[in-house]
Structure 1
Amino acid sequence: MKMKTSLLSTALLLALATGASAQTVRVANQGDALSMDPHSLNESLQLSVTGNVYEPLVGRAKDLSLAPALATSWKQTSPTVWRFELRKGVQFHDGTPFTADDVIFSFQRVAGEGSDLKSNVNDIKEVRKVNDLTVDIETKAPFPILPNQLTTTYILSKKWCETNQATRPVDRRKGIENAASFRANGTGPFRLRERQPNVRTTFVRNGNYWGTIDGNAQEVIYTPIGNDATRVAALLSGEIDVMEPVPVQDIERINASPAAQVLQGPELRTIFLGMDQKRDELLYSSVKGKNPFKDKRVRQAFYQAIDVDGIQKTVMRGAAKPTALMVGPGVNGFVPELNKRLPFDADGAKKLLAEAGYPSGFEVTMNCPNDRYVNDARICQTVAANLARIGVKINLAAETKGTYFPKILRRDTSFYLLGWTPSTYDAHDALNALMACPDDKGAGQFNLGAYCNPKVDQLIRTIQSEVNQPKRSAMIKEAFELHTADIGHLPLHQQALAWGTSRKVTLTQRADNYMPFKWISIKK
C-alpha cells in the first residue's frame, strides 16, 4: 500500500512539472472546483476559482472593501431602486461585447432552476434595462447593502449560454451537467484553457482584459492534491508554487524551509454542525417514529457534549477560535457579548438526553467532507468520539466534497458539518442563508436542517431594509439571541488561514480565502 501511494505521488509530481514555464504559477488545493459554472455551487473555493474567469458588477479590493468591477458606479434612485452604470468596452473571452442584456440574463439565471446562489438575489424584484450600459435593480423592500450582496453574482454571456445550451445552471443536486461545466466564457483577467476535473485546470492571462493585472502570472495550473503529505512535499520540492490549506502540523516545517513559507491570517469562515429539525422521522437514525433533533434538550446535549477547546488544541493545534455564534469577528453584526458558549459538560448532556427520553442515547449518521475545510474529517471523528461518551453512536460518513455537497444540498442528511463565510461580510448574509426558514426563492437555502423561528424570519426581513444602523444592529443582536436560545445550530470555531507559498511568490491573502490570480507574481 505504501508503495502504491509513493508511485502515485511521484506520478502526480511529474505531471505538475510538465508544461511549467516562465511566469507559470502552479497552485494546489486539497480539493477541486466542482464545476466551471459559477452559479452551480455557493462555495468559496468554487467561487474563488471561477472568479478569475467571471466577474460581478461589484467586486472586492485587496482590503475587502467594495470596488467597481463590471459596474463603474452605483447609486440609489429611490429606496428600492439601485442604478448601476456598466463598464464600456468590455468583451467576453470570445469577443462578444458585454451589455445590459448579459446582466439581466445572468440575474435571471441565478434566480432560476438549478442555481445554488438564489439567496444572493431572493430579495430582488426586477432587473431592468435602461440602455445598453445601464441597469436598474429593484428590490422587494429597501435593501441598503445590495451592492455587498452582489460580489459573488458573476455575469455570463447571454449569447454564449444560449448557443451552448447552458441557459440554466449546472444542478449539482441532480448531477446534471452542461457546456458550462467544462468550458467558460467570462470577462475576467484569466481565460480557461484546459479543464480536467480532479486532475488539472489551466488558466491563461486574458490579453484583452479591461483592467489592470498587478501580477505577472501568464499561466496558472491548478491541481487538486488531496493527500496532505503529498501536497506539502510538492511545495517543499518546488513542484508547486502555492498550496492551501497547509496542515497545521506542517506549518513550522514549511517555515523552516529555505524555499517556502506559510502565510497565516484570520478567516471569516465559521465551522458548525447542523441537524434535521423538520422531518417527523430522521432519515438516518435508530430512532423510529419521531425526530430527536426537534427537542431542544437533545440539541443542547449534543452542544454541551462537544469539547471545542479540545478540538482547538489537539485537532487544530491552536489554529482555530471557538465560537458561540454563526459569524465571527470581522463580520458586521458580530456581537462579542453573545459569543459565550455553553460549558462543556458531558454529565449534564447525559441528563438532558435522559430527560428527552433517550437515557441510552441513539444512533445517527453524520455527513462530513474530508477535503474541504481544515482537518474536517478529524473534526468529525473527534465530535463522534465526544458524543459516544453520552451514548450517541455516530455513523460517520466522510467523503470527498464532490459527492458530499450534492448530497447535503438535497437535504439528504440528518446531521452534518458545514462552513460559511458571509460573502457580504455582513450578518444578514448568514441570517438569510443559514437561519431563515427555507423557501423556494432562496431564503434559508443553506439552512439544510430547516431550523425555523418565525420571529427570526421577521427580524431578517426587517434587518435587510433597515437603514438606521443602531436599530439594525439591535435587531441583528436579537436574532442571534433567539437562534442561540433555540440552539438552532452547533457552532464550533472560526478556522485560521494557512497558505503555503514558494519564497519566489508574492500574492494577496484575504480573510475570505479567495485567491485572485491577477495579484500573484513569481520570480524565476
Structure 2
Amino acid sequence: MSLKKNVIAAAILSVLTATSLVAGAQTIRIANQGDALSLDPHSLNESLQLSVTANAYEPLVGRNKDLSLAPLLATSWKQTSPSVWRFELRKGVTFHDGTPFTADDVVFSFARAKGDGSDMKATLSDIKEVRKVGDHAVEIETNGPFPILPDVITLTMIMSKKWCEENGAAKPVDKRKGVENTASFKANGTGPFRVRERQPDVRTVFTRNPSYWGKIEGNAQEIVFTPIANPATRVAALISGEVDVMEPVPVQDIARINSSPNARVITGPELRTIFLGMDQKRDELLYSNVKGKNPFKDKRVRQAFYQAIDIAGIQRTVMRGASRPTALMVGPGINGWSAEQDKRLPYDIDAAKKLLADAGYPNGFEVSMNCPNDRYVNDAQICQGVAAGLARIGVKINLVAETKGSYFPKVLRRDTSFYMLGWTPTTYDAHNALSSLMACPDDKGTGQFNLGSYCNPKLDELTRKIQSETDKAKRDEMIEEAFKIHSDDIGHLPLHQQSLAWGVSKKVELTQLADNFMFFKWMSIKPQQP
C-alpha cells in the first residue's frame, strides 16, 4: 500500500474510532465501498443510492422481506379499468419537517420523477397521467393496459411538494450535468429514518424517526454510513469492531472474516446482472483508432468480443467462484428467465479471430473501455480480465477505470464506446430489463439505460405487447422470443450475476435482500455488556 493510501486509511479509521467512542449501544456503523452520489431519490437509478435514500423516503408500494408487494404510503390499490389504477393513500402521515402527506405530493413526485434531469423516468414512460381524486386518493392512468404497474412504481419515492418548491428542488438533480440543489444534501421524506448529517464521501448519519407512521422492527436508533473504498481497510474495520456492517466483502476475505471471533459473512444470490455494452449508433466511435466507421455495428465484431471473453476463467480467478456466468440480461429469480435460453456461446479464440477477420479487422483494433472501480464486486479486475481476452484476438483495450462519481455521469451521457453496467430489474420481471436496457431509446425514458443504443424494432414491438399482456403463458412466450432476438443480435455482452457478501458483526441482526437493498428498519444490535 502506498504512503498516500496508508494516510487515507489511517484517517478513515480515526474517524471510525472517534465515532465508536460516542456511539451508543443502538448505533450501527455501516461501511460501503462507495457513497450515494446524492440524497435526491430521483437523480440516479443506481441501487446503492436508492438503497440509502429508501430509508428516508418511501414509495406508494414497497417490498416485504420476501420481496412481495407491501403497502407503504398507499394502503390499497386496484384497477378500475384496464388502464387506470386507484391508490388509497395513508392518512396521518407527515414528512420529516412536519408537513402532512397528501395526494398533492404524489402528483408532484410522479411529475418530478418523469421530468427533465430525472434518472427514474424509464420506469414511468408509459404513465399517461397521475391525478388527485381526493386528499388521500390518486388515480394513475397508463397509455394502455399495465398489469404490473404496482411493481413498476416501488422505487418512485414521494417527496414533499411544499419542501421541494421552497428549497429550489422542484426539479431533480441531473448527475449527467453535475447539477446540484438542496435535495442533493438534505432529505425530507416520510421514511423511518431522518438524515441528521451529510458529508459526501465522508459519512452520512441517520437517526430514527420518532414520528414514523409505521412499526420499526429493529432497535437501531442511529445509523452511521461511511464510504471506505479500500477493501482491506473495510475488512480490517469490521474485524476490529470499528464498523458493524460492511459490503461488499472481497471474495478472498470471506473465510478470514468467518474465522474471526466477532464477525460473519452473510452470502446469497443477487438479482443483478453484470454486462458489457457497445456504442452501436454512431457512425464512428468516439474512442477508437478505427476511423470512418463503427466496428460495433457489425454483429461479427460483437460476437468476436463475446467469444473472446473467458467467463469461466473470470469466475474462477477473479470472482473465486462467487458468480454465475450468464447468457441472458436477467438471471434466476426474475420472471421470464429460463434455463433453456441461458446458454452462452463457447469461449473460442480461433472462432473470434476468424469473425474479426471476416468483418475486416484481421489485426484487430483499439478501443477504450469504461469501467467503475468501486461499484460492483471486483469490477475493475473483471474489466482487466476482459481486456486480456480481447488482446488475444488483436483488440487493444485502453481501460479507463474510475470511481463511480465520475464514471456514471460520463456513461449516462453516452460519452463512451464500450462500457460495463450492472442491472437489477426493480419489478423482478423481464419487462424492466427489456424496456430499460434493450429497447430503442426515445425521449420518454424507454431505453434510458441502453447506453450503446442497440435497436431492433421487432424487440420493441414485443416489449410493448409484454407490458400489457395479462395471460402469463402468452407473456412468457413473448419474453422468450424477445430474448432470442437480443441474443441472436449479440445486442450486449452478458457476463454474470455476482453473489452478495455482507460482512456483519455478530452483535447485529439484519435482513439481506436479493436486490442488495439494506433497510435500517430491519436492523438490530445487541446491547453492550457492562
After TM superposition, is the score higher than 0.5?
Answer: yes
The answer to whether structure 1 residue 18 and structure 2 residue 27 are counterparts is no
The answer to whether structure 1 residue 193 and structure 2 residue 170 are counterparts is no
- Cα deviation code 1:278-315 (max 9, x no counterpart): 00000000000000000000000000000000000000
The equivalent residue for 2:287 is 284
Match of 2:162 among 153, 159, 164: 159
The answer to whether structure 1 residue 49 and structure 2 residue 66 are counterparts is no
The answer to whether structure 1 residue 314 and structure 2 residue 317 are counterparts is yes
The sequence identity of aligned pairs, in percent, is: 75
Secondary structure at the aligned position of 2:272 is classed as: strand
Secondary structure at the aligned position of 2:118 is classed as: coil
The answer to whether structure 1 residue 255 and structure 2 residue 255 are counterparts is no
- Cα deviation code 1:86-117 (max 9, x no counterpart): 00100000000000000000000011000001
The answer to whether structure 1 residue 211 and structure 2 residue 227 are counterparts is no
- How far apart, CA to CA, are the structure 2 residues paired with 1:115 and 1:9? 35
- How far apart, CA to CA, are the structure 1 residues paired with 2:464 and 2:505? 46
Deviation at 1:6, TM superposition (A): 2.8
Secondary structure at the aligned position of 1:268 is classed as: coil
- How far apart, CA to CA, are the structure 2 residues paired with 1:2 and 1:103? 50
Secondary structure at the aligned position of 2:155 is classed as: coil
Match of 1:293 among 293, 296, 315: 296
- How far apart, CA to CA, are the structure 2 residues paired with 1:480 and 1:331? 13
Secondary structure at the aligned position of 2:340 is classed as: helix
The equivalent residue for 2:173 is 170
The equivalent residue for 1:120 is 123
Deviation at 1:164, TM superposition (A): 0.3
Deviation at 1:14, TM superposition (A): 1.8
The equivalent residue for 1:331 is 334
Letter in 1 for 2:17: A
- How far apart, CA to CA, are the structure 2 residues paired with 1:67 and 1:414? 40
- How far apart, CA to CA, are the structure 2 residues paired with 1:61 and 1:367? 36
- How far apart, CA to CA, are the structure 2 residues paired with 1:282 and 1:168? 33
Deviation at 1:214, TM superposition (A): 0.5
Matches within 5 A, 1:89-168: 89-168=92-171
Match of 1:465 among 468, 472, 481: 468
- How far apart, CA to CA, are the structure 2 residues paired with 1:207 and 1:455? 52
- Cα deviation code 1:354-391 (max 9, x no counterpart): 00000000000000000000000000001001100000
Secondary structure at the aligned position of 2:474 is classed as: helix
Deviation at 1:3, TM superposition (A): 3.9
- Cα deviation code 1:57-93 (max 9, x no counterpart): 0000001000001000000000000000000100000
The answer to whether structure 1 residue 342 and structure 2 residue 335 are counterparts is no
The equivalent residue for 2:442 is 439
Matches within 5 A, 1:409-428: 409-428=412-431
Q: Which runs of 5+ in 1 are unaligned?
A: none
Letter in 1 for 2:352: A
The equivalent residue for 1:522 is 525
- How far apart, CA to CA, are the structure 1 residues paired with 2:140 and 2:3? 59
- How far apart, CA to CA, are the structure 2 residues paired with 1:3 and 1:360? 42
The equivalent residue for 1:493 is 496
Secondary structure at the aligned position of 1:18 is classed as: helix
- How far apart, CA to CA, are the structure 2 residues paired with 1:505 and 1:11? 25
Deviates more, 1:17-26 or 1:378-387: 17-26
Matches within 5 A, 1:472-487: 472-487=475-490
Secondary structure at the aligned position of 1:193 is classed as: strand
Deviation at 1:11, TM superposition (A): 2.0
The answer to whether structure 1 residue 202 and structure 2 residue 208 are counterparts is no
Match of 1:304 among 303, 307, 311: 307
- How far apart, CA to CA, are the structure 2 residues paired with 1:328 and 1:16? 37
- How far apart, CA to CA, are the structure 2 residues paired with 1:288 and 1:335? 40
Q: Which ranges of 4 or more aligned residues in structure 1 deviate by more than 4 Å?
A: none
Deviates more, 1:11-20 or 1:291-300: 11-20
Q: TM-score, normalised by structure 2?
A: 0.98
Letter in 2 for 1:419: G
- How far apart, CA to CA, are the structure 1 residues paired with 2:170 and 2:442? 23
- How far apart, CA to CA, are the structure 1 residues paired with 2:3 and 2:453? 46
Deviation at 1:4, TM superposition (A): 3.7
The equivalent residue for 2:79 is 76
Deviation at 1:16, TM superposition (A): 1.2
Deviation at 1:10, TM superposition (A): 2.3
- How far apart, CA to CA, are the structure 2 residues paired with 1:62 and 1:238? 27
- How far apart, CA to CA, are the structure 2 residues paired with 1:116 and 1:413? 18
Letter in 2 for 1:454: P
Deviation at 1:5, TM superposition (A): 2.8
- How far apart, CA to CA, are the structure 2 residues paired with 1:4 and 1:259? 29
- How far apart, CA to CA, are the structure 1 residues paired with 2:7 and 2:320? 31
Secondary structure at the aligned position of 2:271 is classed as: strand
- How far apart, CA to CA, are the structure 2 residues paired with 1:387 and 1:257? 40
Letter in 2 for 1:78: S
Secondary structure at the aligned position of 2:410 is classed as: helix
- How far apart, CA to CA, are the structure 2 residues paired with 1:3 and 1:407? 30
- How far apart, CA to CA, are the structure 2 residues paired with 1:203 and 1:120? 28
Deviation at 1:22, TM superposition (A): 2.2
Secondary structure at the aligned position of 1:336 is classed as: coil
